[in-house]
Amino acid sequence: HVQLVESGGGSMRAGGSLRLSCTASEFTFEGSDMAWFRQSPGKEREAVAAIRRDDLTAYTDSVKGRFTISKDNAGNSLFLQMSNLKPEDTAMYYCAASASFILTPRFYRLESSEYPYRGQGTQVTVS
């Protein structure tokens, strides 16, 4: 049974930084495509960033230059370094994974349907 577990969320003043982490059981990050999504009340879930097994990365426009996605295959961990946080970044952040390779055009579309495994989320609040 695949379980993804996020951590590192919290409350932060605008302009601050947070680092989210994601670990997994029954799933190996190496050789997988991974992503971070977020959802705030009343809004649809949106992709934040993704990293493919070949280290190709993609970001939604609103976080480019502020967020960095990375992974540690040896530690089976996924990270999201968030800097210059803004109130509009407030949301529940979810780690997501795909064992199937996502072709480049679809990878850049950052669609949640491509990632069947998701965690329970970690809350980020920016004031």
Give the largest CA-CA distance in the chain: 38
pLDDT band at 1 (very low <50, low <70, confident <90, very high): confident
Going by pLDDT thresholds of 50, 70 and 90, the confidence category of residue 25 is: confident
Residue 42: count of CB within 10 angstroms of its CB: 5
Both structure tokens of 57? 């990365």
Q: For residue 88, what pLDDT is reported?
A: 96
Query: In the chain, count of helices (H) and strands (E)?
Result: 1, 11
- Average of pLDDT values for 41-52? 94
The model's confidence at residue 2, banded by pLDDT at 50, 70 and 90, is confident
Cβ neighbours for 45, distance < 8 A, ≥ 6 positions apart: 37, 38, 39, 94, 112
Q: Which helix (H) or strand (E) holds 5?
A: strand 3-7
Distance CA 50, CA 56 (A): 8
